[in-house]
Amino acid sequence: MPYTVFIREPDADFFVITNLLQELGYHQKTLNDYSYFIEHRENTVQVAMDKTVTFYINEQLSLPALETVRRMIVDVKNRAGGMISETDYHIGYLQDGTKTSLFCNWERWISLLHAARFNAIQDTHVRVYDTMYNQLGEGVLLSYDTAEDAEGIIRISSCRLKTEEGTCKLSASPHVIVEATGEWIEPEKA
């Protein structure tokens, strides 16, 4: 069963909304159908004649894909107006057991996941990228600094790596992406 998110009572008219969806990469299913799809139909949108925009989101999407979908929904809402509402579902929990969804406790949940991931990859071999996925370097992650991004999500702002040449500090704006390579590093080389 897909997650369902609505944009209710948008200020924009039906045609502005459908054009906006197409700008974002959605494709109309058929000429007489006001349903749109993106990314191999894992995420579909339906625009009703009352202008309600309904997003049906595959519950098996990866975290980066969920972040992208969330940004798209926020973009549509910001440009078309209206209010975001969700069906009663959750995608995770905070440490205190509070349920989270795409628009309820999202920032706290993502920050919790990122913090756990950052701790798990420390002292492992990683590759570091800017937000456009240009590789900045690779080596053993020694330490990292975090900062809140514009959405209030904790991200790695810079990191220190041990490389074959020594240690280096890498940073990029607005943040860096650090990914574990899964490569085994012998302790004496780390």
Q: Supply φ then ψ for residue 114, to 5 degrees.
A: -60, -45
End-to-end Cα separation, the chain, in angstroms: 45
Q: Over 70: is that where the pLDDT of 189 sits?
A: no
Query: Of the segments 10-24, 54-68, 121-135, 172-186, which one has the largest average pLDDT value?
Result: 121-135
Rounded CA separation 149/45 (Å): 28
pLDDT given at position 122: 86
**Which position has the token pair 């502005």?**
16
Give 167-184 pLDDT, tens digit per residue.
999 999 989 999 999 876
Token digits of residue 100:
């989270």
Rounded CA separation 53/88 (Å): 17
Q: How confident is the model at residue 95 (pLDDT cuts 50, 70, 90)?
A: very high
Average pLDDT score over the chain:
86
Question: pLDDT over 90 for what percent of the chain?
Answer: 44
Q: How confident is the model at residue 126 (pLDDT cuts 50, 70, 90)?
A: very high
Q: Supply φ then ψ for residue 88, to 5 degrees.
A: -80, 90
pLDDT given at position 184: 63
